[in-house]
Amino acid sequence: MASQISDVKSIVKRAAEEAGFDLAGIAPAADSAELNHFPEWIAAGHAGEMKYLEARDDSGAFKRASLARIAPWARSVVVCAINYNTQNPYSTQAHDSSRGWISRYAWSRNDYHDAVLHRLKQVETALRQAVPAELQADFTTRCYVDTGPIVERVYAKYAGVGWIGKNTCIINQKKGSWMFLGVILTSLELAPDLPAPDRCGICTRCIEACPTDALIDPYQLDSNRCIAYLTIEKRGSIPEDLRVGMGRHIFGCDICQDVCPWNRKAPASTAPEFEPRPGLVNPALAWLAEMSEEEYREVFRGSPIRRTKRSGLRRNLAIAIVNSGNREFLPLLDQLATDEYESVRESADWAKTRLSQPE
């Protein structure tokens, strides 16, 4: 039986490679030191308005703090990673003040959840088919792609996929950090891979580069200050003291990954799903600000950018426009100041005041 289980692990890794994943590993379903810190992180208010992170079980305990609370039957976690990097410039290389920045992961035509889940299901099928017949009756699996109460990056570390960097992203020494993760929980106990060693060393470039000081300490992120959180998850108006630091980011932020030395030679993805849509790499601020509701729906159909909604995008654009320093955009701010949403109007009025000030 032991040799059969060993064969299952080999089959799973081969299936991951055939499905187009760049990396795959096995982690134990046991709790870890990283998960033990989760309640403290929540208690400190670092999750911001993301209340879904605070999901609890019937006993009142945080689901994300222990896999046993959502899947007590799980014995192993299969972690698959796929590279989404492209040959396009990093945000730190984009200096045209008339253009904004959309996070690298949101450039593609397909939502990464769907693209990764499609591949992950292929691996799950291979896993189910490889399980010995005598174990099939009690065999259970469940797939997640950033959609369940599980901290994927922790299991990615213990699966050997990469280490958790000081910027809280998973980093692999050969692939860098531009990776989407998918996990398969399984009731089958597979031999785990060795955890990935931390190779950040004394480097603190990500911490020093964050313009809003969201990385409050190595490996510790305060979401309330993170540009990705502010431009995507935050509802209503953004705190004024953080707006200048947001620069021209209108959806997400890549800075802490752009400056990471492990991404200097990060390979480009070969997955066609992650090819950028025309116009979304360093997009023109005027184009986005003048975009109608119908054009917004058409351009961003199936895109993760829909998460921030058009009102959130327009709020972010008002802030990006004032941070551009370009007074030619004042008429655009006049348009945004008449928006139906108060957060957009407030941001546009604030931006107009600042942009109209004498130099």
Q: Which residues are catalytic?
A: 146
Q: How many CB atoms lie within 10 A of CB 328?
A: 11
Q: How far is CA 108 from CA 98, 225, 304, 317, in A?
A: 22, 26, 9, 20
Amino acid (one-letter) located at 258: D
Kindly state the DSSP code that residue 237 receives in the 8-state scheme.
P
**Burial status of residue 40 (CB atoms within 10 A of its CB: 0-12, 13-18, 19 or more):** exposed
Please check whether residue 227 is in contact with residue 215, taking contact to mean a CB–CB distance below 8 angstroms. no
Q: Report how far residue 235's alpha carbon sits from residue 313's, in angstroms, rounded to the nearest whole number.
A: 11
118 contacts: CB under 8 Å, gap ≥ 6 = none
Residue with the two structure tokens 């809280």? 168
Q: Report how far residue 289's alpha carbon sits from residue 77's, in angstroms, rounded to the nearest whole number.
A: 43
Strand runs (DSSP E) across 84-154, as ranges? 101-102, 141-144
Q: What six digits make up the tokens of 192?
A: 């785990």
Q: Report how far residue 150's alpha carbon sits from residue 65's, in angstroms, rounded to the nearest whole number.
A: 8
Strands 215-217 and 179-186 come out as unpaired
Please check whether residue 189 is in contact with residue 226, taking contact to mean a CB–CB distance below 8 angstroms. no
Strands 170-171 and 141-144 come out as unpaired
| CA angle (344, 348, 353) in 5-degree steps | 155
